[in-house]
Amino acid sequence: MGRTRQGRLIHVALASTIVVMVLNVVLIPAMASTPARPEKVLYSFAGPNGAGPLSGVTVGSDGVLYGTTVFGGRFGGGCVFSLTPAGSGYTERILFSFHGSNGAKPAGNVVVGAHRTLFGATSIGGSHNAGTVFELVPRGNGYTEKVLYDFTGMTDGQEPIGTPVLGVGGDIFGVTQFGGTFGQGVVYSVAPSPTGYSEQVLHSFAGDAGQPQAGLTKASDGTLYGTLYGFSEVNPDGTVFRLQLKRTGDVYSDLYDFQGGTDGTNPYAVLTVDDHTGVIYGTTEYGGGVGSYGTVFSLTPSGGGYQEEVLHRFTDDSAGVLPQSPLLRTANGDLIGTADIAGVGCSGIGCGTVYELRPVGSDYMFRVVYRFTGPPDGAEPQLSGVVAGPGREIFGTTRSGGTSTTCSDGGPGGVLGCGTVYESST
């Protein structure tokens, strides 16, 4: 297909391997120990019931947790699952298993629409093996899948990535890693039409910048925000972009180009936007200066542009490194996220952490909420951020770990386990 870069799932494995080698050579000074907060594994995957829950969970209005796995399921192509509160625990149910022609390898999580309808995308599979946008509709005791759009791999896009976002009127927005006019991916919408659903390319990334590795964020005014990882000779350190949807024509803007120094390198997660102030929050997988392995940053509107500020640099292997997940912003302004590896366990590499940044005056105070320890606990939260429950609890997933010993997909230190869904507190 003429592409020079591989998709995100392969990049994820390589990134973990690279950091493993780095951490084995460089000793990073440890920060003061922070007491671990309570954590509970709600469910451990075992393969046929799903494996590799990379994208966290969505909390339904009834307290049911919904998510996807990129492996496992009935046919091995991943699945959509639910966890329903039952007594003192949760009951898992596979809502749908992908088998190829109807999609495979979910590109992100599912989003819950009206009447418990679920929407999502698969990175591959479909008629052209270029990915799909799908809908799961409750039918009796199960769910029925409908492919809303089948990507061709041409100018319409190829290999969607990230969780789609819903717009007013049932429109679905997302990005693809490849395809489009220049082969570097697109921003797309899939909208209801008289004959079903139709796709429209809202923006085609140019040949010198593209291949997004994370989905979109939609602000309350309908504006879409996203990131480009940095697969570009023009800007190899990554970009934050904005797409304003207007009747007179959509307007695309690069809001910030990372410089690869102390400001961070390679944004890899979905952004968080404060609708009241317009401030954008996010993470970079690498960078932050000497001895740093990633950052948490903010972009504040300033004049006609944006001013970037690094809120935290990951320099301590006891606190976690390689932040690849989106940030949860709480009502009091706290930012909660996960770091892919480091912390404790997992052959000395570390199984990853949950962290929090709490605003104190004009600064932020960093603390570790939880350090994963590996089987039977989870390991490597990776792309999964956390979501808030109805109380002070938060929910997330880990790619590896758990009670099963049937899966080993190259997680940190070759950790066994098919992944977990966990609950913690802040």
Query: Would you say residue 34 has pLDDT above 90?
Result: no
Distance between CA atoms of residues 337 and 394, nearest Å: 11
Give 357-368 as a DSSP string. EEEETTEEEEEE
Of how many residues is the chain composed? Answer: 426
Query: Would you say residue 157 has pLDDT above 90?
Result: yes
Banded pLDDT at 10 (limits 50, 70, 90): very low
Distance between CA atoms of residues 261 and 259, nearest Å: 6
Pair 106, 383: CB distance under 8 Å = no
Pick the more confident residue, 362 or 150. 150
The torsion angles phi and psi of 14, rounded to 5 degrees, stand at -65, -40
Contacts of residue 338, Cβ cutoff 8 Å, sequence gap at least 6 = 320, 323, 324, 325, 352, 353, 354, 355, 381, 382, 384, 385, 386, 396
* Number of alpha carbons in the 13 Å side-chain half-sphere of residue 27: 1
pLDDT digit string (tens) for 292-346? Answer: 999 999 999 999 899 999 999 999 999 999 999 999 999 999 999 999 999 999 9
pLDDT of residue 142: 83
Contacts of residue 352, Cβ cutoff 8 Å, sequence gap at least 6 = 320, 338, 339, 340, 341, 342, 343, 371, 372, 379, 380, 381, 382, 398, 412
Distance between CA atoms of residues 355 and 350, nearest Å: 14
pLDDT of residue 421: 97
Query: Would you say residue 11 has pLDDT above 50?
Result: no
Distance between CA atoms of residues 338 and 54, nearest Å: 12
pLDDT digit string (tens) for 368-413? Answer: 999 999 999 999 999 999 999 887 899 999 999 999 988 876 667 7
User: Quick one: which H or E segment has residue 378?
Assistant: strand 378-379
Buried-exposed string 47-73: b where 16+ CB fall within 10 A, e elsewhere: bbbbbbbbbbbbbeeeebbbbbbbbbb
pLDDT of residue 223: 96
pLDDT of residue 15: 38
| AA identity, residue 111 | V
Distance between CA atoms of residues 217 and 220, nearest Å: 10
Contacts of residue 220, Cβ cutoff 8 Å, sequence gap at least 6 = 275
pLDDT of residue 87: 82
Cis, peptide link before residue 390, omega less than 30° from 0: no
Report the pLDDT averaged over residues 123-152: 94
Report the pLDDT averaged over residues 410-425: 86
Lowest mean pLDDT among 7-11, 174-178, 221-225, 231-235: 7-11
Query: Would you say residue 6 has pLDDT above 60?
Result: no
Query: Would you say residue 360 has pLDDT above 80?
Result: yes
Of the candidates 170, 173, 160, the one whose C-alpha atom is nearest the C-alpha of residue 193 is: 170
Query: Would you say residue 426 has pLDDT above 90?
Result: no
pLDDT of residue 288: 94
Of the candidates 394, 376, 393, 377, the one whose C-alpha atom is nearest the C-alpha of residue 385 is: 394
pLDDT of residue 233: 77
Tokens of 229: 């990882």
Banded pLDDT at 205 (limits 50, 70, 90): very high
Long-range contacts from 142-145, C-beta under 8 angstroms, 24+ separation: 142/95, 143/80, 143/95, 143/96, 143/118, 145/96, 145/102
Q: What share of the chain is helix, strand, coil (3-state, %, to 5)?
A: 5, 45, 50
Banded pLDDT at 231 (limits 50, 70, 90): confident
Tokens of 286: 């690498």
pLDDT of residue 329: 97
pLDDT of residue 410: 63
The whole-chain average pLDDT of the chain stands at 88
Banded pLDDT at 169 (limits 50, 70, 90): confident
Pair 166, 119: CB distance under 8 Å = yes
pLDDT of residue 8: 46
pLDDT of residue 143: 92
pLDDT of residue 208: 65
